[in-house]
Amino acid sequence: MAAIIPENAHAGLPEQALPRWRRAVLKVGSNLLAADGGGLTLRYADALAGFIAASQADGRQVVLVSSGAVAAGRALLRQHAADGSGLAARQALAALGQAPMIALWQSLSARPVAQVLLTHDDLRNRRRYLNARATLRELLTLDVLPVVNENDTVAVDELKLGDNDNLAAIVAALVDADLLLIASDVDALYSADPRRDPAATPIGHVAALTPQILAMAGGSGSAGGTGGMRTKLEAATKAAAAGIPTALFSGRDAATVQALQHGRLHGTLIAAASSRMQARKYWLRHAPAAPGRIRVDAGAASALAGGRVSLLPGGVLGVDGEFHRGDLVEIVDADGRPVARGLSQYGAAEVRRLAGRHSREIDGVLGYSYGAEVVHRDDLVTVGEHVIPGKETTA
């Protein structure tokens, strides 16, 4: 089991190459934003914002998942930590502190900042998942900085667990990120919680999140943070399954944050379980499909087989059976032979009405549009005898 490359405790944590990335999700914990145990401070956010700006200037895209609303709300009321520890109180504090938290990031960003509040429930619901994804994609296209936080007012279970780490991993898969960056107050995963065990040693590279590695993680060591290393490793597990590596590092160390801009990581790198393409392809190929299927004409069938194209309404001949927007559906040719599988942007009734139409007619036919594609190429995998070897369509 080669899960760990052991570090020499005295040599500390060596720098390593950060995987190449074009789109990343950066998660910033409360401990960094409310670093002095009080309200929000620019102390560490400044360097992190500098990293985001430099990445954007390089043509990369960053989605920020930021905690800190509860800490900011608490400071606004000058409440003692103990006063605001009940769930409703924490929800009220989050509502109070959310605007100042967004304002903090806006004060540090030359580009506009967009507030995105999500719950895990939103992301479990197919329709809302697709809508959240479309909104985030659009925000990135508009070159703004999306700042995601949990919608704490309604996220009952999640706020208890305080789990923006897991949310960040889900968002990373949602936006098809290449990398999940988790900035915290600790510089690495240690063999045990370093606050409790002074002999704990840092781990630079995790090749696989084995039970042995997961057992190293403890809860939060401070009043400000909530999930501790446990939720960070849960997040890394989710990201790894989606084919996304995770980098854990200290957001308190300006040199560490600056080195990220140059593709160097001083922290823990947790490898992905497979490539993003493989993870997504595997899922699209093997997940149970909805009972309905979309029949396409010969032109669409061969275009899909040729690779990297979306299914547009013009190529649709008809629909058999039923499915909802966001369902995984089979795409077959006129003779019913399998061509591809993918996530449908429209429900069966809508696709029936759009069959054979041009994408620009969607609005006129339905009175609304979820986009020009019936199945977007990122959500599609080629199957069956139409596949041209080496030219499979994948995300």
Ligand X SMILES: N[C@@H](CCC(=O)OP(=O)(O)O)C(=O)O
Ligand Y SMILES: Nc1ncnc2c1ncn2[C@@H]1O[C@H](COP(=O)(O)OP(=O)(O)O)[C@@H](O)[C@H]1O
Q: Which residues belong to the annotated binding site?
A: 27, 67, 152, 164, 184-185, 226-232
Tokens linked to 187: 């510089």
Task: Using CB under 6 A, count the residues that bind ligand X.
Answer: 18
d(CA 164, CA 148) in angstroms, rounded, equals 9
Q: How far is the CB of 228 from ligand Y (least distance, A)?
A: 4
126, 159 Cβ separation under 8 angstroms: no
Q: Does 30 bind ligand Y (CB under 6 A)?
A: yes
CB of 92 to ligand Y, least distance (A): 20
68 binds ligand X, rule: CB under 6 A: yes
Q: Phi and psi (nearest 5°) for 135?
A: -65, -45
Taking CB under 6 A as the criterion, the residue among 119, 226, 250, 256 binding ligand X is 226
Question: x/- contact string, 61-80, with ligand Y (CB under 6 A)?
Answer: ------x-------------
Binding site partner of 189, from ligand Y, ligand X, none, Cβ cut-off 5-8 A by kind: ligand Y
Known binding-site residue numbers for substrate: 67, 152, 164
Question: Which of the residues 222 through 251 are near ligand Y (CB under 6 A)?
Answer: 222, 224-229
Q: Interface with ligand X includes 84 (CB under 6 A)?
A: no
Instruction: Using only the alpha carbons of the chain, give its radius of gyration.
Output: 23
Closest CA to 265 of 217, 204, 213: 204
Cα gap 239→231, rounded to integer Å: 12
- 237 vs 344 by CB, closer to ligand X: 237
Cβ(193)–Cβ(221) below 8 Å: yes
Kindly state the helix (H) or strand (E) to which residue 235 belongs, with its residue range.
Answer: helix 228-241
- Which of ligand X, ligand Y, none interacts with 190 (beta carbon under 5 to 8 A by kind)? ligand Y
> Which entry of ligand Y, ligand X, none binds 216, CB below 5 to 8 A by partner kind?
ligand Y
- For CA atoms 228, 231, 237, 243, give the dihedral sign: negative
Counting contacts by CB under 6 A, is residue 237 touching ligand X?
Answer: no
CA distance 3 to 270: 10
Residue 162 or 292: the one with the smaller Cβ distance to ligand X is 162
Site for ligand X in 166-185 (CB under 6 A): none
DSSP 73-142: HHHHHT--GGGG-SHHHHHHHHHHHHHHHHHHHHHH-SS-EEEEEE-HHHHHSHHHHHHHHHHHHHHHHT
Binding residues for ATP: 27, 184-185, 226-232
Among 30, 61, 345, 382, binds ligand X (CB under 6 A): 30
Binding site for ligand Y (CB under 6 A): 29-31, 67, 184-186, 189-190, 192-195, 216-218, 220-222, 224-229
